[in-house]
């Protein structure tokens, strides 16, 4: 139980590019003042980007005998690196569905302690202490990991990714791992990318515009504002249950947890189950025609008005200001 030793980061990547959240984790890791081991599982690591964000070692892992994108393969790869390095006391993973699954499985294998949805982590009295908000954003907690290894899932945008002025000297270490029985038990038969919009992924977006029951089935105003701001579109459970938008857009306790820099809720009442998934947003803007709507109790900015007027007006003004 110590914060000595080094820090490891699982570099989440897609299409050959490190995800923005991985760069946030590397930035936090280097600020902790210990050697930083970046772990890239799969082909073609982005060595320069990883060095620019302060990793001192890059562990390039190939998993033999299983699909490398499987959660079980990621766990196999991470366990190999942890064993090879020997002194990792903190591992950062993304706080996504997949990242949480990796954290849990790895904790079972290593006896590590897990905190997910963290907004930060620091060494305190010889222990790694992660901060997170709980109970629909009503409490801030500090969770100390008492085991030998702390596995922390960092919420998107908890820190700002920043490259170094001068990239770190990164040592590349190659590993080949034989896939475990768990990884080999699954065969990926085919992969079909879903048709996507140009919008960022909901869980990682810096800006999220959410539509609730108040949109009455018409998400065009929400989508227009999201596009002007380069943001993602989210929804309340009412909107997804009504079939106005897919369930993957649901934000809340039983949907996606988000922590954007800017959340805009249009026609959203701010029910506790919804708030539970967006309370970590840095700035909350509410557009609602009921001045007594609960969302105004925790919004930073509120507009009392009809969203069919406010959303297009806001989008038009933003466009005008951007020339
Ligand atoms: C176990 C459980 C889990 C749940 N999980 C989730 C979850 O993950 N995510 C989630 O979102 N919900 C979840 N819910 C549902 C949640 O409790 C609320 O019912 C839901 O969030 C309300 O959605 P809403 O704000 O769109 O609708 P409402 O609460 O009906 O609010 C609609 C709002 O729109 C406003 N409005 C109406 N017309 C306009 C207009 N023209 N212009 C401006 N404002 C307008 C109204 O004043 C009102 O405040 C869960 C519920 C349960 C029981």
Which helix (H) or strand (E) segment holds residue 240: the answer is: helix 237-241
How far is 288 from 33, CA to CA, in rounded Å? 46
Residue spans of the domains in the chain: they are 6-184, 202-321
In this prediction, residue 191 carries a pLDDT of: 87
Percent of the chain with pLDDT over 70: 99
DSSP bridge pairs for 27: none
CA of 250, closest atom in ligand 1: 9
Q: ∠203-17-115 over CA atoms, to 5°?
A: 45
Between 157 and 18, the higher pLDDT residue: 18
Q: 276 CB less than 6 Å from ligand 1?
A: no
CA of 287, closest atom in ligand 1: 43
How far is 80 from 177, CA to CA, in rounded Å? 7
In this prediction, residue 48 carries a pLDDT of: 97
Q: Would you state the structure tokens that stand for residue 83, as one six-digit string?
A: 């064993």
Of 216, 221, 236, best ligand 1 pocket probe by most atoms within 8 Å of the beta carbon: 236
Mean pLDDT, the chain, whole residue set: 95
What is the architecture of the domain spanning 202-321?
A: 3-Layer(aba) Sandwich (3.40)
CATH fold label, 6-184: Rossmann fold (3.40.50)
- Asked whether the beta carbons of 4 and 89 are under 8 A apart, the reply is yes
Q: How far is the CA of 91 from the centre of ligand 1 (A)?
A: 37
| 6-184 and 202-321 agree in CATH topology | yes
Tokens 């960092």, residue?
154
pLDDT tens-digit readout, 66-90: 999 999 999 999 999 999 999 999 9
pLDDT tens-digit readout, 41-61: 999 999 999 999 999 999 999
In this prediction, residue 168 carries a pLDDT of: 86
pLDDT tens-digit readout, 240-295: 999 999 999 999 988 999 999 999 999 999 999 999 999 999 999 999 999 999 99
């Amino acid at each position: 139980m110590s914060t000595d030793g080094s820090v490891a980061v699982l570099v989440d990547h897609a299409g050959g590019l490190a995800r923005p959240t991985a760069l946030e984790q590397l930035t936090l890791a280097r600020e902790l003042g210990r050697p930083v081991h970046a772990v890239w599982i799969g082909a073609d690591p982005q060595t320069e980007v990883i060095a620019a964000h302060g990793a001192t070692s890059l562990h390039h892992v190939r998993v033999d005998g299983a699909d490398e994108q499987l959660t079980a393969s990621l766990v196999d790869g991470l366990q190999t690196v942890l064993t090879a390095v020997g002194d990792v006391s903190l591992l950062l993973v993304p706080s996504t569905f997949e990242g949480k699954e990796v954290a849990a499985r790895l904790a079972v294998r290593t006896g590590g302690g897990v905190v997910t949805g963290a907004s930060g982590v620091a060494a305190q009295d010889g222990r790694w202490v992660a901060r997170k908000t709980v109970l629909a954003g009503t409490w801030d907690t500090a969770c100390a990991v008492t085991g030998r290894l702390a596995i922390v899932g960092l919420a998107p945008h908890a820190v700002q990714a920043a490259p170094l002025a001068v990239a770190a000297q990164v040592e590349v270490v190659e590993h080949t791992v034989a896939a475990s029985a768990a990884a080999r038990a699954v065969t990926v038969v085919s992969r079909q990318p879903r048709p996507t919009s140009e919008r960022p992924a909901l869980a990682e977006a810096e800006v999220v515009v959410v539509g609730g029951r108040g949109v009455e089935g018409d998400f065009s105003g929400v989508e227009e504002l999201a596009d002007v701001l380069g943001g993602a579109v989210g929804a309340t459970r009412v909107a997804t249950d009504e079939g106005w938008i897919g369930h993957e857009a649901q934000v809340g306790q039983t949907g996606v947890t988000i922590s954007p820099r800017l959340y805009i809720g249009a026609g959203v009442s701010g029910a506790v189950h919804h708030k539970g998934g967006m309370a970590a947003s840095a700035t909350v803007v509410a557009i609602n025609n009921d001045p007594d709507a609960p969302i105004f109790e925790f919004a930073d900015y509120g507009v009392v008005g009809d969203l069919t007027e406010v959303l297009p007006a806001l989008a038009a003004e933003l466009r005008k200001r951007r020339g």
